[in-house]
């Protein structure tokens, strides 16, 4: 499966990224998927997910969202992030996470989608956006900001979809047109917060599903962490691949 690292010009610099796509003949093109990382960042675990998606016929872009600080990896992560290592890793990453702004997120999204549209291997058509953990609200914001382009949005073990902030992701969905799937770990959202999110999705008039994956904890798709749940990872593919297939592929 072809894969490469690359640099994407943005309004704030150049974002390093990983891209994977199918073996293609001359002129062959594929639907694009923008994959937003979890808090631990761009690393082999996410490259593996991109390669899996590429094997199903998608051009997948995984940007390093911390590019303003340094290229990936921004930290020297342990090979496996266990419960003993997790607090120290999160403590180092939290200042970077707290620097994200909505304006910066949307400027970057413009650059990533523009890059995808310019690739010769990418088909002219709708795009899917996926986010894990902190990437889920970024994916939701991107979908809402690009209703004419993003046809599928999926978020897994999401954080920060419903907050008290005036610009909380669930409060900016009036322009959303993408089909949405939110795959939750047990405890990711309170029933009240989930109700607020579903109310906002209902008001947007979009097709969506929210589902709590049983027996899971936050981070269940990531095989390099103690949160990993193999059955839930497969369930995530069982939800994600049909969503992308029915929204991104021409009949």
Contact 226, 82 (CB under 8 A): yes
Which one of 30, 38, 133, 236 is the catalytic residue? Answer: 133
Q: Is the pTM of this model over 0.85?
A: yes
Specify the pLDDT at position 104.
97
Q: How many CA atoms lie within 13 A of 243 on its CB side?
A: 28
- Residue 151 to residue 176: CA distance in whole angstroms: 9
Percent of the chain with pLDDT over 70: 99
| Phi-psi domain of 5 (left: phi exceeds 0; alpha: psi -120 through 50; beta: other) | beta
Q: How confident is the model at residue 86 (pLDDT cuts 50, 70, 90)?
A: very high
133 is catalytic: yes
Predicted confidence (pLDDT) at residue 251 exceeds the cutoff of 60: no
Over the stretch 148-165, which tens digit does the pLDDT of each residue have? 999 999 999 999 999 999
Over the stretch 88-138, which tens digit does the pLDDT of each residue have? 999 999 999 999 999 999 999 999 999 999 999 999 999 999 999 999 999
Which one of 146, 218, 235, 236 is the catalytic residue? Answer: 218
218 is catalytic: yes
How confident is the model over 72-90, as a mean pLDDT? 94
């Amino acid at each position: 499966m072809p894969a490469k690292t690359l640099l994407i010009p943005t309004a704030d610099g150049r974002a390093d990224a990983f891209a994977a796509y199918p073996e293609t003949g001359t002129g062959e093109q594929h639907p694009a998927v923008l994959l937003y990382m979890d808090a631990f960042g761009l690393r082999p675990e996410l490259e593996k997910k991109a390669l899996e998606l590429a094997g199903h016929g998608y051009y997948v872009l995984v940007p390093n969202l911390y590019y303003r600080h340094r290229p990936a990896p921004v930290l020297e992560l342990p090979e496996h992030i266990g419960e003993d290592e997790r607090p120290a890793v999160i403590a180092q990453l939290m200042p970077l996470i707290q620097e994200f702004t909505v304006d910066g997120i949307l400027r970057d999204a413009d650059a990533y989608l523009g890059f995808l549209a310019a690739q010769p291997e990418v088909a002219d058509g709708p795009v899917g956006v996926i986010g894990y953990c902190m990437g889920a609200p970024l994916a939701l914001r991107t979908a809402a900001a690009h209703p004419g382009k993003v046809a599928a949005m999926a978020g897994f073990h999401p954080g920060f979809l419903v907050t008290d902030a005036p610009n909380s992701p669930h409060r900016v969905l009036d322009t959303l047109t993408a089909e949405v799937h939110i795959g939750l770990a047990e405890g990711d959202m309170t029933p009240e917060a989930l109700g607020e999110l579903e109310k906002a999705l209902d008001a947007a008039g979009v097709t969506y599903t929210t589902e709590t994956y049983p027996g899971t904890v936050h981070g269940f798709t990531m095989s390099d962490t103690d949160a990993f749940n193999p059955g839930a990872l497969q369930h995530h593919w069982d939800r994600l691949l049909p969503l992308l297939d029915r929204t991104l592929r021409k009949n």
